[in-house]
Amino acid sequence: MFQYILKRIIEMIPLLLVVSILTFLFIHMIPGDPARLVAGKDATLEDVNRVSIELGLDQPIWKQYVTFMGNLFKGDLGTSLKTGLPVSNMFADRFMPSIYLTLLSMGWALVIGLIIGTLSAVFKNKWPDHLGMVTAVSGISLPGFWLGLILIQIFSVQLGWFPTGGAEGWKSYVLPSITLGAGIMSMLARFTRSSLLETLKADFIRTGRAKGLKESSVLTKHALRNSLIPVVTIAGLQFGFLLGGSVVVETVFSFPGMGRLLIDSIAFRDYPVIQSALLLFSIEFILVNLIVDILYSTLNPKIQYE
């Protein structure tokens, strides 16, 4: 088991390297001279040259990458062009709210998705199934930003139950996490349903019934346990969807997280911030997939022993 995890971590390293190279190159892919972009439109040639040396842009590109990586390991993500603050400082108080938001969204989406999917499978072609699947297909089709605005309109503006934005107190997390989780919840509900229907056809389910097990234990102990494996995998893959969605949701709710910082930075062409934010997002995504992989192997005995 430990070996398996170690192997997975080692396999991840090349991917991380390529991702770091790509994000490093990102700033160089923008048409035009990065130094000029950084120095601003009104900068003089002298300014541009000074910035170029300051950022090390006069160095050969591989050397720049080495410096970039070296700084990265020291925790130095560069300096924001807009605020002049170290990027790592800007991330410090925005990182955790975003993590809480995504975890909350994934949490409720997983629980409710599993419940809806299970009920739909158990009551296949009856009203709970129809209701569940109409909810799910609608949830997939709802644009997050629109759902967010509707929730603000109803629960913040009209009913006044929750704040319209910010990240102070648990109340400010309610509407954003509902918005962010809705799509994933729907996907997981659909997936749970089809996975469970597939499992319920398996021979070992019949064995369970032949043993005289209660239908509820057949469902929870035998069917769900098997269906959980693919569902968890899908949930992990969909984590990227959450990270992307968080950008939109944080913008709708003026939520002080990484996603909104990214969008604001794009508007200001604050490239060091954009670069680091992208890198952080993809590392987060890769790590989540690693965790899911490990979780998968603990849930599935077949992998454990290979």
Partner 1 sequence: MEFTSTVTEKKQVVPKKKYSPVREFWVNFKHQKTAFFASMFILLLIIIAIIGPSIAPYDPYKPDYDATLQGPSSEHILGTDEYGRDIFSRILVGTRITLSVSTSSVLLGAIVGTVLGIMSGYFGGWLDRIIMRSSDVMFAFPDLLLAIAIVAVLGPGLNNVIIAVSVFSVPSFARLVRGSTLEAKENTFVEAAKSMGAPHKRIMFKHIFPETVSSLIVFVTMRIGTAIIAASSLSFLGLGASPETPDWGAMLSMGRDYLGTASHVVMMPGIAIFLTVLAFNLVGDGLRDVLDPKTKNE
Partner 2 sequence: MSEKLLQVEQLQTEFTKDKQKIRILHGVNFHINKGEVIGLVGESGCGKSLTSLSIMGLFKGTSGEITGGHIRFNGQDITSLNVNEMRKMRGKQIAMIFQEPMTSLNPVMKIGEQLMEPIRIHLNLNKKQAKEHAISMLKKVGIARPDEVINEYPHQLSGGMRQRVMIAMAMSCNPNLLIADEPTTALDVTIQAQILELMKQLQQQEDMSILLITHDLGIVAEMCDRVVVMYAGRVVEEANVFDLFEEPKHPYTRGLIGSVPKIGDKRDKLDSIKGNVPDPSDMPIGCKFAPRCTQVMPICLEAEPTSIMLENDRLCSCWLYDHERGEMHV
Query: Residue numbers of the site for partner 2 (CB under 8 A)?
Result: 200-215, 217, 221-222, 225-226, 229, 299-302, 305
CA distance 296 to 232: 7
For 286, the token pair is 């890769």
Selection from partner 2, partner 1, none that 107 binds (CB < 5 to 8 A by kind) is none
Q: How far is the CB of 29 from partner 2 (least distance, A)?
A: 46
Q: What sign has the CA pseudo-torsion 10, 11, 13, 16?
A: negative
13, interface contact from partner 1, partner 2, none, CB < 5-8 Å by kind: none
Rounded to whole angstroms, the Cα distance separating 117 from 230 reads 13
143's contact among partner 2, partner 1, none, with CB below 5 to 8 A by partner kind, is: partner 1
With CB under 5 to 8 Å by kind, the binding choice for 221 among partner 2, partner 1, none is partner 2
Minimum distance from residue 125 beta carbon to partner 1 (Å): 9
Which lies closer to partner 1 via its Cβ, residue 158 or residue 216?
A: 158
Count the Cβ atoms, other than its own, within 10 Å of residue 138: 11
d(CA 302, CA 306): 7
- CB 284, min distance to partner 1, A: 9
In the complex, what is the shortest distance from the CB of residue 223 to partner 2, in angstroms, rounded to a whole number?
Answer: 9
CA distance 94 to 272: 16
Which amino acid appears at position 186 of this protein? S
Q: Are 165 and 253 in contact (CB under 8 A)?
A: yes
CB atoms within 10 A of CB 159: 9
- Residues in contact with partner 1 by the rule CB under 8 A: 15, 18-19, 22, 26, 29-31, 124, 137-138, 140-146, 149-150, 152-153, 157, 190, 193-194, 197, 239-245, 247-248, 251-252, 262-263, 266-267, 274, 278, 281-282, 285-286
Residue 115 binding target from partner 2, partner 1, none, CB below 5 to 8 Å by type:
none
Q: CA-based Rg of the chain, rounded to a whole angstrom?
A: 24
Q: How far is the CB of 126 from partner 2 (least distance, A)?
A: 14
DSSP H or E segment with residue 138:
helix 127-141
Kindly tell me which of 13 and 210 has the beta carbon lying closer to partner 1. Answer: 13
Residue 173, sorted as left (phi over 0), alpha (psi -120 to 50) or beta, turns out to be: alpha
Residue 282 binds which of partner 1, partner 2, none (CB < 5-8 A, kind-dependent): partner 1
